Structure 1
Amino acid sequence: MLLRLPESVSEAQECMAEGAVPIGGATLVWAGWQRDGFPEQAMSLRNLPEANVLARGALGAAVVLGRIDDRVPEVLHRAAATVGTGAVRRTATVGGNIVGSTLRCLLPAALVLTARARVLDRDRVFETDLAEVVAKNHLLLSLHWPEPVASSYRKLPAEAGGPPPFVVAAAVHTPDDAPARLHVAVRDGYDVLADDVPCHTGSDEAIAALGATPLGTLHSTAWQVVRDHVTDLLNRPVGRSPQ
């Protein structure tokens, strides 16, 4: 197998045109390739500057999860920190987790940030939403989002080898100086649900509004986790994170 390491968008597009398979951090594809056979060509974006950004409001697809720190919002930082083991986080990438994984541990966090995806195609770079990226298995270059007022993330404990743990992510945004809105996303099994509601009148009203969205159909235990999580976030002093 020839591993190609493009250093520009045009080189990456050339690799795609010649059939190179994107590998992310290779933590998910390697076992399958060992079982089913290796492709003739693979492509990593680890040398592509556009895929390695790590800054306020932006995160590259080739960034390994272990590098994600407090330059990104709390919800995304904490989501990355809970993926797998330290060894996994040193190799698994943002793009591999969101596009290549069935668990998509970072997806709820990215959704509540209202992140947009910058995507590489054979003849262009374009921006789209995360739903299209996941549905069409696009080659992700980077994520970009407006900074939230506050955010938080929680993953429930789970037994190794069992069902995926329940995850809840939340963020508060004030778009264009409009009243604040609460964005909440959960992963329940392999399903991800997300919605947003006004939250400027307080946590009780926000939770009642969430109850009228698809999130309100969660089973009672999960719904209680969401309620507690939202209450804690909305009652947190602005600008403070839990210690």
Structure 2
Amino acid sequence: MLLRLPTSLSEAQECMAEGAVPIGGATLVWATWQRDGFPEQALSLRDLPEANAIGREALGAAVVLNRIDDQLPETLRRAASSVGTGAVRRTATVGGNIVGSTLRCLLPAALVLDARATVLEPDNVYETDLAEVLAKRHLLLGLRWREPIASAYYKEPGEAGGPPPLVVATAVHGDGDGRTRLRVAVRDGYEVLSDSAVCDADTEEVLHTLRRTAVGGLHAAAWEVVRRQVTELLARPAIR
């Protein structure tokens, strides 16, 4: 297998046009390739500057999870730190987790940040929403969002090889005219649900609004985690 490491967008697009298969951090595909056979060419974005951006409102797809630090929103930091072991986090990438994984521990965090995705095609680079990225399994270059006022992330303990543990991500954003909006995303099993509510009212009214969304239709145990996290987030001094 030839591993290609482009250093420019045009070079990466050339690799794609020639059939190179994206490898991410290789934590997910390696075992499959050992079982089913290796492709002739693989493509890694680890040397591509655009895929290695990291900042308060941007994160590249080739960034490994242990590089996600306190300059990024809390919900992303906690999501990244919850993935696998330290050894896994030193090799697993943002793009591999969101697009290549069935668990997608970072996806709820990205959804509550209302993140937009930049994707790479052999003849184009453009921005789109996460739903399109997942549906079409695009090659992700990175994510961009507006910094939230506050955010949080909770992942239930789980057993290796067991069912995916419940994940709840939340974030509060200002909308520019003095109002605030709460976003909630939940991974329940392999399904991810997300919705939002305006935060003009008190916490109970916000929860009542959420109860009328898809998130509110979760089973009782999951809703209790949502209720607790929303209550704790909206009580933070930054929201008041």
Asked if residue 223 in structure 1 is aligned to residue 227 in structure 2, the reply is no
Q: Give the letter for the 2:174 counterpart.
A: T
CA distance in 1, matches of 2:4, 2:109: 31
Q: How many residues align?
A: 240
CA shift for structure 1 position 158: 1.7
Deviates further, 63-72 or 231-240: 231-240
1:207 is displaced (CA, Å) by 0.5
Secondary structure of the corresponding residue to residue 117 of structure 2: strand
Amino acid in structure 2 at the alignment position of 1:89:
R
Structure 1 residue 138 corresponds to structure 2 residue 138: yes
Q: What TM-score do you get using the length of structure 1 for normalisation?
A: 0.97
> Which amino acid in the other structure matches residue 194 of structure 1?
S
Counterpart of 2:232 in structure 1 is: 232
C-alpha deviation, 1:175, in angstroms: 1.5
Deviation of 1:139 after TM superposition, in Å, equals 0.3
* Matched residue, 1:94: 94
- For 1:11, the aligned partner's letter is E
The equivalent residue for 1:171 is 171
1:175-186 equivalences under 5 Å are 175-186=175-186
SS of aligned partner of 1:177: coil
Q: Map Cα deviations across residues 85-120 of structure 1 (whole Å, 9 max, x no partner).
A: 000000000000000000000000000000000000
In structure 1, what is the Cα distance between the partners aligned to 2:50 and 2:25? Answer: 16
1:132 partner letter: E
Match in the other structure for 1:56: 56
Name the structure 2 match of 1:113: 113
Amino acid at match of 2:209: A
Cross-structure match for 2:34: 34
1:36-59 alpha-carbon deviations (Å, 9 max, x no partner): 000000010000000000111000
- Choose 153-162 or 141-150, whichever is displaced more: 153-162
- Aligned twin of 1:206: 206
1:117-152, CA deviations, whole angstroms, 9 ceiling, x for partnerless residues?
Answer: 000011111000000000100000000000101000
In the alignment, the residues of structure 1 paired with residue 233 and residue 23 of structure 2 have an alpha-carbon distance, to the nearest angstrom, of 36
Q: CA deviation at 1:177?
A: 2.5
Q: Equivalent residue of 2:176, what SS?
A: helix
Using the size of structure 2 for normalisation, the TM-score is: 0.98
Aligned equivalents of 2:106 and 2:185: distance in 1? 11
Post-superposition shift, 1:159?
2.1
Q: Which residue type is aligned with residue 190 of structure 2?
A: Y
1:75 maps onto 2:75 in alignment:
yes
2:37 is matched by which residue type in structure 1? Answer: G
In structure 1, the gaps of 5 or more residues are: none
Matches of 1:40 and 1:6 in 2, distance apart? 16
CA RMSD of aligned residues (A): 1.1
Gaps of at least 5 residues in structure 2 are none
Q: State the alpha-carbon separation in 2 of the partners of residues 225 and 215 from structure 1.
A: 11
Letter aligned with residue 121 of structure 2: D
Distance in 2 of aligned mates of 1:212 and 1:178 = 24
> What amino acid does structure 2 have at the position aligned with 1:2?
L
- Per the alignment, residue 195 of structure 1 pairs with 195
Give how far 1:64 is off: 0.1
**CA offset at residue 170 of structure 1?**
0.2
The one-letter code matched in structure 1 to 2:20 is A
